[in-house]
């Protein structure tokens, strides 16, 4: 069938729309790395060396003190009143418990050497109540240690962050037991943009700052959050959860798919 100029142009437009739609979904469908607690790799629990999803190295789990645990469970149980909406996938999240003067650390590397400019690392974060002075935090790490930290300090009123220029700086987001979504984008080799969203209210803050070096992994730390057990065995007020780890490619890379599709069809029209 011979296509007219108008018909070929119409196909090009439709292809562009389709490819643009595909690109907009690639944040979820074409991720560089992706994992969550409902992956079959964790069907027997969260253990040292377990490795679900793709694009990340195996988990390295460690504890300090005897009153600790790392486990798979529901994030909606922390703080005792449901902690809605929580950060579960199919009722599961990566959980940690650490009584006072105890601690847990979960470490994981990125399969790629480091986060690249334009890429976004995302994770969901859900703390419960914390003992005064205790800390729940996520660190993005490099060869020299923590490059960026986001967390909550027991007794404080707002979440904090640390980077190359700021130490425990307060955010505008107050305490929540419903969870947060964190999206960290490397904007240049030494600068970043973090968008933190409170899941129960959709309140959002965007933070920009600097890092001193490359980012090639993460640490999840629960330092003495506490052990206030919910009556009836429904969970622990003080448990700390994370979930839904992902690395998304630079959006401009995805957008080139649409441009390329239009270009190919336009070239055909000229023949």
- Do 38 and 72 contact (CB within 8 A), yes or no? no
**Is residue 114 domain-resident?**
yes
- How many Å apart are CA 97 and CA 104, to the nearest integer? 7
**Is residue 265 domain-resident?**
yes
**Is residue 7 domain-resident?**
no
CATH of the domain at 83: 2.60.120.200
For 31-82, write each residue's pLDDT tens digit. 999 999 999 999 999 999 999 999 999 999 999 999 999 999 999 878 665 6
In this prediction the pTM is 0.83
**Is residue 235 domain-resident?**
yes
**Is residue 251 domain-resident?**
yes
- The count of structural domains within the chain is 1
How many other C-beta atoms can be found within 10 angstroms of the C-beta atom of residue 213?
15
**Is residue 165 domain-resident?**
yes
**Residue 247 is part of which domain span?**
32-270
- Do 162 and 178 contact (CB within 8 A), yes or no? no
**Is residue 14 domain-resident?**
no
Residue position matching structure tokens 């729309």: 17
Coil, helix or strand at residue 221? strand
Which residues of the chain, if any, have pLDDT below 50? 1-29, 256-271
What are φ and ψ of residue 11, in 5° steps? -65, -40
């Amino acid at each position: 069938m011979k296509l007219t100029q108008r018909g070929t142009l119409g196909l090009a437009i439709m292809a562009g729309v389709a490819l643009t739609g595909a690109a907009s979904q690639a944040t979820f469908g074409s991720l560089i790395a992706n994992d969550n607690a409902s992956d079959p790799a964790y069907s027997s629990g969260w253990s040292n060396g377990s490795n679900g999803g793709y694009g990340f190295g195996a988990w390295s789990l460690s504890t300090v003190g005897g009153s600790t645990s790392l486990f798979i469970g529901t994030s909606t149980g922390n703080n005792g009143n449901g902690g809605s909406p929580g950060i579960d996938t199919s009722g599961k999240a990566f959980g940690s418990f650490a009584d006072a003067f105890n601690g847990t650390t979960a470490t994981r590397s990125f399969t790629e050497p480091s986060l690249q400019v334009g890429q976004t690392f995302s994770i969901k974060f859900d703390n419960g109540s914390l003992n005064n002075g205790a800390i729940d935090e996520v660190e993005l790490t490099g060869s020299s240690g923590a490059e960026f930290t986001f967390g909550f300090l027991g007794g404080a009123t707002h979440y904090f962050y640390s980077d190359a220029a700021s130490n425990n700086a307060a955010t505008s987001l107050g305490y929540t037991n419903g969870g947060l979504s964190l999206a960290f984008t490397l904007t240049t080799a030494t600068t970043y943009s973090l968008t933190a969203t409170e899941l129960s209210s959709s309140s959002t803050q965007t933070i920009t700052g600097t890092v001193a070096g490359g980012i090639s992994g993460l640490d999840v730390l629960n330092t003495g959050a506490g052990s206030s057990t919910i009556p009836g065995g429904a969970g622990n007020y003080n448990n700390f959860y994370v979930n839904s780890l992902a690395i998304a490619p630079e959006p401009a890379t995805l957008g080139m798919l649409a441009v390329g599709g239009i270009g190919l069809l336009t070239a055909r029209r000229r023949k």
